[in-house]
Amino acid sequence: MYINKPYPESLTADQAIKKIPAGSNLWIHSNCAFPELLVNALCKRISEEGESLKHINIYQLFTFQKAGYASAGMEKFCTVKSLFTGASVREAVNSCRADFTPVFLSEIPKLLETKKIPIDVALIQLSPPDKHGFCSFGVSNECSKIAAENSRMIIAHINPEMPRVLGDNFIHISRLNYIVEESFPVSTLPMVSDKISEEEKKVYERIGKNIASLINDGDTLQMGIGAIPDAVLPHLKAKNDLGIHTEMFSDGLIDLMKTGVVNGSRKTLLEEKVVASFVIGTKNLFDFIDDNPLIEFRTSKFTNDPFVISRNDNMISINSAIEIDLTGQVCADSIGNRLYSGFGGQVDFIRGAARSKNGKPIIAIPSTAKNGKISKIMPLLTSGAGVTTSRGDVHYVITEHGIADLFGKTIRERVELLISIAHPNFRDELTQKAKELKYFW
> pLDDT tens across 380-422, in order?
999 999 999 999 999 999 999 999 999 999 999 999 999 999 9
Q: What is the mean pLDDT of residues 415-439?
A: 98
The whole-number pLDDT of residue 2 equals 52
Band of residue 194 on the pLDDT scale cut at 50, 70, 90: low
Residue scoring higher pLDDT (193 or 181): 181
How large is the C-alpha radius of gyration of the chain? 22
> pLDDT tens across 307-361, in order?
999 999 999 999 999 999 999 999 999 999 999 999 999 999 999 999 999 999 9
Band of residue 294 on the pLDDT scale cut at 50, 70, 90: very high
Of 91-100, 153-162, 218-227, 402-411, the poorest mean pLDDT is in 218-227
Give how far Cα 235 sits from Cα of 231, 246, 252, 264, Å: 8, 19, 11, 18
Report whether 367 contacts 377 (CB < 8 A): yes
Report whether 304 contacts 345 (CB < 8 A): yes
Smallest CA-to-CA distance from 332 within 228, 430, 433, 241 is with 228
H or E segment to which residue 412 belongs: helix 411-420
- Mean pLDDT score of the chain: 96
Contacts by 71-78, CB closer than 8 A, 24 or more apart: 72/97, 74/43, 74/46, 76/50, 76/51, 77/46, 77/50, 77/51, 77/53, 78/46, 78/53
Instruction: Show which residues are catalytic.
Output: 247
Smallest CA-to-CA distance from 298 within 250, 238, 245 is with 245
> pLDDT tens across 89-118, in order?
999 999 999 999 999 999 999 999 999 999
Band of residue 224 on the pLDDT scale cut at 50, 70, 90: confident
The whole-number pLDDT of residue 4 equals 60
Report the predicted TM-score, pTM, of the whole model to 2 decimal places.
Answer: 0.96
* CB-based burial label for 194 (10 Å; 0-12, 13-18, 19+): exposed
Beta bridge partners of 323: 331
Smallest CA-to-CA distance from 308 within 349, 345, 367 is with 349
The whole-number pLDDT of residue 196 equals 82
Give the other-Cβ count within 10 Å of 45's Cβ. 19
The whole-number pLDDT of residue 1 equals 45
Identify the structural domains of the chain with CATH numbers, from first to last: 9-181 (3.40.1080.10), 192-436 (3.40.1080.20)
Report whether 156 contacts 127 (CB < 8 A): no
Q: Parallel, antiparallel, or unpaired for β 243-245 and 220-223?
A: parallel
H or E segment to which residue 323 belongs: strand 323-325
